[in-house]
Amino acid sequence: MKHSFLMEINCATPGLDPDSAPPSVFADAAPDGVRACRILIIDDEETNVRLLERLLVQGGYHNFVSTTDSSEATALFDDFQPDIVLTDWLMPVVDGYAVIGQLRALVATNEYLPIVVLTADCTAQTRQRALAAGATDFLTKPFEQIEVLLRIQNLLTARLSHLVVQAQNTRLEESVRQRTMELERALVELQRTQKQVIRNERLAALGAMAGGVAHDFNNALSIITGFGELLRRDAERGLAKENATPSIDCILSAAEDASRIVQRLRAFHRPEEAEEYRIPVNLNTLIEQAASLSQPRLAEVSAGGRTITMTTEPGEIPCITGDPAELREALINLIFNAMDALPEGGAITLSTGVEDEVVVLKIIDNGSGMTEEVQQRCLEPFFTTKGDRGTGLGLAMVFGILQRHGGDIEIQTAPGQGTTFALRLPMPIPALSALHPKTSLPAKTDPRLE
């Protein structure tokens, strides 16, 4: 049989006045945050509800609502959003088990909402059933006043701690979300910047290539123009065919070199179609050709009042494998560069030889030389000491040609002491074998015949 809540409290604490204040041991225990929490009371006995309300007021709690109709529990819960629920277990129409199930369905699974069951049924079966439904704690009738208030305080404290953690998690998740968005924006910006850098690098490479092509074409055209002017001058004097042949050969050679430049440009546009052109090349022949091709430029220099002599010193060397047009282009670039380093005139020497199992071609001038800083940077694209007269691509193109041939450049220079460019090119394997013939071992003698 269900008991009146008022009767149960009076039985538990004989002589207790329901309107009296709680003992001082509890009065100061609950902090203001806990007393401000919302409390929902569900009990079908009016006297029990009123007594709980007075008890809460005495404990410092004023933010609560009550109902004696358990069918209104979910509507009240939605409107009031309580921090704790006190519900009777044995109620008509909708009992405590059903009420707990309905309320648990309204809250998130990760939300901590304490639900306290008020019951006189202390059996293990009832407790297990209530806990299975989602109850948090029990207050067994008859119960003691201070125990009720302390349990409520402890559960509300846990509720507030959970809300604090939940708020911190929410802020952390928002911070992570914002940071993720910032990182995503940064990634998009980085990708955009990378694309721009790649585009700029391609444009820079295209500009360097165009500058290099223009530089080499200018050299080839200056040779063609120079020999053309010589032919026209000599033609006015009745030039014989045999005298015209060397100049014509130089013009054709320069035109062939210009054609190779165009082929390299096409290879840049369609690299899959590019094939390296390699044939045996005699560097001794190459330096003689380069010296001949440089004659118009030498004539131009002489006309300007400078005297520059050019000599060749061919050594005993094997043929190398390479592209004669590219190597001739590199050599002419270095010859023209040496001429620019002789503002007062001077001498240029072209020599070949074998050193440390590589073929070496040297371009030596006795001009102004270079400082250490200029020497360190002279092979960089666009670096020039000639001001508006230079493109800074001549030596860079030479270095590129040597690399494509598996070779290297050594520079020996000092201010006022001239410059030596040594082009070191790999020697073919047959030539290396000739340098190191296999030595036959003496035949072993039979000791019995000694």
Give 299-357 pLDDT, tens digit per residue.
Answer: 888 888 889 999 999 999 999 999 888 898 889 889 988 998 898 899 999 999 999 88
Neighbours of 215 (CB within 10 A): 19
3-class state of residue 319 by DSSP: coil
2 pLDDT higher than 70: no
Rounded alpha-carbon distances, angstroms, from residue 300 to 222, 223, 293, 336: 11, 11, 13, 12
290 pLDDT higher than 80: yes
Q: For position 109, what pLDDT does the model report?
A: 87
- Two tokens, residue 202: 């391609």
Which residue bears the tokens 């001949």? 292
Q: For position 283, what pLDDT does the model report?
A: 94
> What residues form DSSP beta bridges with 55?
none
Cα dihedral angle (55, 60, 65, 66), rounded to 10 degrees?
0
- Segment 56-98, tens digit of pLDDT: 998 899 999 999 999 999 999 999 999 999 999 999 889 999 9
CA 286 centroid distance within chain: 47
Which range, 130-139, 273-282, 301-310, is most confident? 130-139
Domain covering 5-167 in this structure, CATH number:
3.40.50.2300
Q: For position 284, what pLDDT does the model report?
A: 94
Domain covering 278-433 in this structure, CATH number:
3.30.565.10
Q: For position 317, what pLDDT does the model report?
A: 93
Judge whether 111 and 159 are in contact, CB under 8 Å. Answer: no
Residue (of 370, 355, 346) closest to 423 by Cα position: 355
What is the pLDDT averaged over residues 127-132?
92
Q: For position 304, what pLDDT does the model report?
A: 82
Q: For position 325, what pLDDT does the model report?
A: 84
Could you tell me where in the chain the CATH 3.30.565.10 domains are found? 278-433
- Is residue 262 very low, low, confident or very high in pLDDT (cuts 50, 70, 90)? low
Q: For position 431, what pLDDT does the model report?
A: 59
What is the pLDDT averaged over residues 178-196?
89
**Please, what is the average pLDDT of the chain?**
80
- Segment 358-416, tens digit of pLDDT: 999 999 999 989 998 888 888 877 677 776 666 666 788 888 888 888 999 999 999 98
Could you tell me where in the chain the CATH 3.40.50.2300 domains are found? 5-167
50 pLDDT higher than 70: yes
3-class state of residue 400 by DSSP: helix
Dihedrals phi, psi of 17, to nearest 5 degrees: -85, 120
d(CA 235, CA 280): 36
Q: Is the model's pTM score more than 0.85? A: no
3-class state of residue 192 by DSSP: helix
204 pLDDT higher than 50: yes
Which residue bears the tokens 């250490």? 372
- The residue type found at 7 is M
Judge whether 61 and 55 are in contact, CB under 8 Å. Answer: no
Q: For position 11, what pLDDT does the model report?
A: 34
Which residue bears the tokens 């840049």? 268
Which residue bears the tokens 């009076």? 10
